[in-house]
């Protein structure tokens, strides 16, 4: 009796992978076109901040959507990346790109240490452990002499890259855009790899993955460290864009914003958290005149999307636009 192969069946994993890759390619092309056009119609420094927070939200989305790990302490890596980049560029006078990379390295090391302890717990206990460590980092930044306490590290010089002055907003914009697209590509490669498939298996049924011989703790630690590195990249880049590293970067509310961006945009997708970041930051900036009501509006939008669009805004867009 002939047994059909997987690629002979409609809707098989082989065809699903092909459709997924076509969708991702189109999404990258559309995103690249939007990023290239935005500085000519929107204030460039604002768009740069959007891309930084989109990378940050993407790091949380990678950990939550594919690792199944909800972290309430990712602001620690974002803030540490911001402080390290700002301090090394301003005080040590290292090149700006080197400052960002140093921030990433410290965030990765911090993620390795905290992650090795946090992954010993699951569910809400994991989330609480990450929040506890993040609060420890926050109070360290309050007391540490090199962070500037409540004043932060201000007037961070942007320096130059490849002989071009990053003091020019448009030059810096293209550098930040390249970093953003590279970060999104890293997320794509992590997700669409055997490593990413194992992560999904662990997320869906960890005991079964363990029975298949996978050391799940190693995979969870690896995705935690990768996510921390991306958060540090976002923080370091943000320090150059705003020329400031402050306690806001390591505050627990920053972690909450990242989780909100991820769920609002759509967890389990590459560009969903980025879309969520745009919505959250837009409401914060352009509705700032409403004062405390901005938080209420964000809450209403969040509840509305959770109730009606379980896959977030990206899920709605996928249904509207057949790609």
List the chain pLDDT tens, one digit each, 323 residues: 333 343 433 343 433 455 466 777 888 888 999 999 999 999 999 999 999 999 999 999 999 989 889 999 999 999 999 999 999 999 999 999 999 999 999 999 999 999 999 998 888 999 999 999 999 999 999 999 889 888 899 999 999 998 889 999 999 999 999 999 999 999 999 998 999 999 999 998 888 998 888 999 999 999 999 999 999 999 999 999 999 999 999 999 899 899 999 988 888 788 889 999 998 888 888 777 676 777 777 778 778 777 777 777 887 776 776 54
Q: Rounded to whole angstroms, what are the CA distances from 103 to 44, 240, 295?
A: 24, 12, 30
Q: Does residue 289 lie within any of the structural domains?
A: no
Q: Rounded to whole angstroms, what are the CA distances from 70 to 16, 56, 305, 317?
A: 27, 14, 19, 24
- In whole angstroms, give the CA distance from residue 207 to residue 228: 25
Q: Does residue 258 lie within any of the structural domains?
A: no
- In whole angstroms, give the CA distance from residue 46 to residue 44: 5
Q: Does residue 260 lie within any of the structural domains?
A: no
Read off the pTM: 0.90
Q: Does residue 259 lie within any of the structural domains?
A: no
- In whole angstroms, give the CA distance from residue 219 to residue 206: 11
Q: Does residue 18 lie within any of the structural domains?
A: no
Torsion of CA 200, 206, 208, 212, to 10 degrees: 80
User: Is 247 within 8 Å of 152 (Cβ atoms)?
Assistant: yes
Helix (H, G, I), strand (E, B) or coil at 242: helix
- Interstrand relation of 244-245 and 153-154 (parallel, antiparallel or unpaired): antiparallel
- In whole angstroms, give the CA distance from residue 32 to residue 34: 5
- In whole angstroms, give the CA distance from residue 122 to residue 79: 25
Phi and psi dihedrals of 164, rounded to 5?
-105, 135
- Domain range holding 45? 40-251
pLDDT of residue 212: 87
pLDDT of residue 14: 37
Q: Does residue 298 lie within any of the structural domains?
A: no
Q: Does residue 125 lie within any of the structural domains?
A: yes
Phi and psi dihedrals of 321, rounded to 5?
-110, 110
Q: Does residue 220 lie within any of the structural domains?
A: yes
| Total count of domains within the chain | 1
pLDDT of residue 322: 54
Phi and psi dihedrals of 157, rounded to 5?
-70, 140
Q: Which two tokens stand for residue 162?
A: 């490849």
């Amino acid at each position: 009796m002939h047994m059909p192969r997987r690629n002979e069946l409609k809707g098989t994993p082989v065809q699903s992978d092909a459709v997924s890759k076509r969708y991702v390619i189109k999404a990258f092309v559309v995103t690249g076109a939007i990023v290239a056009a935005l500085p000519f119609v929107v204030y460039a420094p604002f768009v740069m901040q959007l891309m930084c927070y989109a990378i940050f939200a993407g790091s949380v989305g990678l950990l939550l959507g594919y690792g199944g790990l909800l972290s309430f302490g990712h602001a620690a890596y974002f803030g540490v990346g911001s402080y390290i980049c700002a301090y090394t560029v301003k005080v040590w006078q290292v090149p700006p790109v080197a400052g960002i990379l140093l921030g990433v390295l410290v965030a990765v090391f911090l993620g390795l240490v905290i992650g090795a302890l946090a992954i010993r717990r699951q569910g809400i206990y994991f989330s609480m452990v990450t929040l506890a460590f993040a609060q420890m980092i926050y109070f360290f930044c309050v007391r540490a002499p090199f962070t500037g306490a409540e004043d932060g590290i201000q007037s961070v010089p942007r320096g130059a890259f490849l002989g071009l002055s990053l003091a020019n907003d448009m030059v810096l914009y293209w550098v930040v855009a390249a970093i953003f697209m590279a970060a999104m590509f890293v997320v794509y490669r992590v997700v669409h790899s055997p490593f990413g498939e194992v992560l999904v298996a662990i997320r869906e049924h960890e005991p079964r993955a363990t029975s298949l011989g996978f050391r799940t703790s190693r995979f969870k630690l690896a995705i935690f460290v990768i996510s921390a590195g991306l958060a540090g990249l976002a923080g370091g880049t943000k320090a150059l864009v705003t020329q400031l590293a402050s306690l806001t970067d390591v505050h627990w509310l920053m972690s909450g914003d990242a989780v909100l961006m991820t769920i609002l945009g759509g967890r389990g997708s590459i560009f969903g958290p980025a879309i969520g970041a745009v919505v959250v930051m837009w409401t914060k900036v352009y509705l700032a005149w409403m004062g405390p009501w901005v938080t209420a509006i964000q809450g209403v939008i969040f509840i509305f999307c959770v109730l009606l669009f379980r896959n977030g805004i990206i899920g709605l867009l996928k249904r509207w636009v057949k790609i």
